Structure 1
Amino acid sequence: MNTEKQRQAIIATAHRRYATKKYDPTKHISTADWQTILEVGRLSPSSFGYEPWQFVLIDSDQVKQDIKPFSWGAVNSINGADKLLLILARTDVSYDSAYVARLVSDVKGHIYSKSSPVSQNFKHFQENDLQLDSPRARFDWAAKQCYIAMANMMTAAAELGIDSCPIEGFNYRQMNQYLKVHHLADTKHWRAAVMVSFGYRDQPIKPKVRQPLSAIYRTI
């Protein structure tokens, strides 16, 4: 059972996590801490365990400068964060896709079949429960899974005393076109879902202002 001390530590981490707008460019994340953050992302849950994500570290100064004009929300991170991570979402996750077949057989170690109960359950889930009736709808569903991984990585970073900032402030069409033209991603199968930066803040953490729990939580 959780102790009161543990509960307080969890809440303290939530308060410490802050969407950092100004980083100290002289401070760097250790290799061990960065690998821990990535491992937490890798271990994150996803719908049916199909992991529709890729974590792309933008380490090239040239690439950072190239994307600046259409990445207004990332400018402060480009100028100071130690790590800028682009998370790509898979575009074609479906019960009969080659991606799912490979994941089931090579990663999960099961025999794949389109007619298996698991495959048919996934088909029903996507087509009937979620009504994912277009490529855009399937991509948006996959992108939601990426946000789960991102949130877990940000929380892990806060536990390690590392700051972060989620970034949606960029032109997705231009980002995907850049990735395609420069052969940085197969945009037929992978497209930008979100970015997130990590580093050490060069600004005070502002106290969180949130609605009271009574306004967002109810029992039925």
Structure 2
Amino acid sequence: MDIETKKKELIDTYYFRHATKEFDPTRKISDDDFRFILETGRLSPSSGNNEPWKFLVVQSPEFRKELAPLASGAIRQLPTASHFVLILARKGLTHSNPYLVKHLTEDNGMPLEIYQSLAPAYAQFYNDLHLDTERALLDWSSKQTYLAMGNMMTAAAHIGIDSCPMEGFDLDAVNELLNKKGLLGDDEFSLSVMVAFGYRKENPKRPKKRLPLEEIVQFV
């Protein structure tokens, strides 16, 4: 396939994608297709290759009903989506965080002495980004979850599957529910964002509109 065809296919994918408010509840995503979508999330970039995320796929109708009163932004998606995902962000990712030490040394193969020698560089990095509070560290992780979510939504659209990202939820209440269900680890995670996948009930009523490139791009 030549590069122009590849470019057109990808642009067509972006035109296909839209924030689907209501899905066709009779159509389900195949296991193989949804694993493909999850794989694009897994392979997404993250700062320092920290992979500060966890994907909770909520398929239980009972669980979705519990979520509904806590997520006003998902009131139509929760009962109709084929797959509903809560993306969690990992908390407290400082240089000494046990997860980060294990992940980068054991999982990624960095020698421990090399990792330890990078402590000053990490300290400078945290200082430059003002990552000096628990909230700042959580926000840093949450920003990275959006990279994974964006890739998953694009991948879904590329194979004709719809999606909708959502922030309309009571963060504290949903975290409390997840904690009661033992889904946040030992206070390791917090909810970052929700995203639903499925097949649109109807086509968008109007074509996609975006500002022209000339208004949003400046070469300097």
TM-score of the superposed pair, with normalisation by structure 1: 0.94
Q: Look up the match of 1:20.
A: 20
Contact 1:179 1:187 in 2 (8 A): no
Q: Please give the residue correspondences for 1:161-200 in structure 2 after superposition, counting only pairs within 5 Å.
A: 161-186=160-185, 188-200=187-199
The letter for the 1-side match of 2:132 is D
Contact 1:13 1:159 in 2 (8 A): yes
CA distance in 1, matches of 2:75, 2:120: 44
Q: How far is the alpha carbon of 1:212 from its aligned partner?
A: 1.2
CA distance in 1, matches of 2:114, 2:70: 41
Contact 1:92 1:99 in 2 (8 A): no
Deviation digits for residues 149-197 of structure 1, max 9, x if unmatched? 0000000000110000001110101011111122222262100000100
CA distance in 2, matches of 1:53, 1:123: 22
Structure 1 residues 113 and 73: CA distance shift in structure 2, 3 A? farther
CA distance in 1, matches of 2:113, 2:194: 35
CA distance in 2, matches of 1:52, 1:27: 32
Q: Look up the match of 1:84.
A: 84
Q: Look up the match of 1:71.
A: 71
CA distance in 2, matches of 1:130, 1:2: 41
CA distance in 2, matches of 1:75, 1:114: 48
Paired residue secondary structure (2:62): helix
Structure 1 residues 171 and 187: CA distance shift in structure 2, 3 A? farther
Q: Please give the residue correspondences for 1:1-220 in structure 2 after superposition, counting only pairs within 5 Å.
A: 3-113=3-113, 116-127=116-127, 129-186=128-185, 188-205=187-204, 206-220=206-220
TM-score of the superposed pair, with normalisation by structure 2: 0.94
Structure 1 residues 2 and 116: CA distance shift in structure 2, 3 A? farther
Paired residue secondary structure (2:104): helix
Q: How far is the alpha carbon of 1:5 from its aligned partner?
A: 1.9
Deviation digits for residues 85-111 of structure 1, max 9, x if unmatched? 000000111111111111012210122
Q: How far is the alpha carbon of 1:7 from its aligned partner?
A: 1.6
How many corresponding residue pairs?
219
Paired residue secondary structure (2:25): coil
Q: How far is the alpha carbon of 1:24 from its aligned partner?
A: 0.3
Q: Quote the RMSD (CA, aligned, Å).
A: 1.6
Unaligned stretches of 5+ in structure 2? Answer: none
The letter for the 1-side match of 2:21 is K
Paired residue secondary structure (1:99): helix
CA distance in 1, matches of 2:114, 2:107: 17
Contact 1:179 1:185 in 2 (8 A): yes
Percentage of pairs with the same residue = 39
Q: How far is the alpha carbon of 1:142 from its aligned partner?
A: 0.2
Unaligned stretches of 5+ in structure 1? Answer: none
Contact 2:105 2:115 in 1 (8 A): no
CA distance in 2, matches of 1:48, 1:132: 14
Contact 1:96 1:114 in 2 (8 A): no
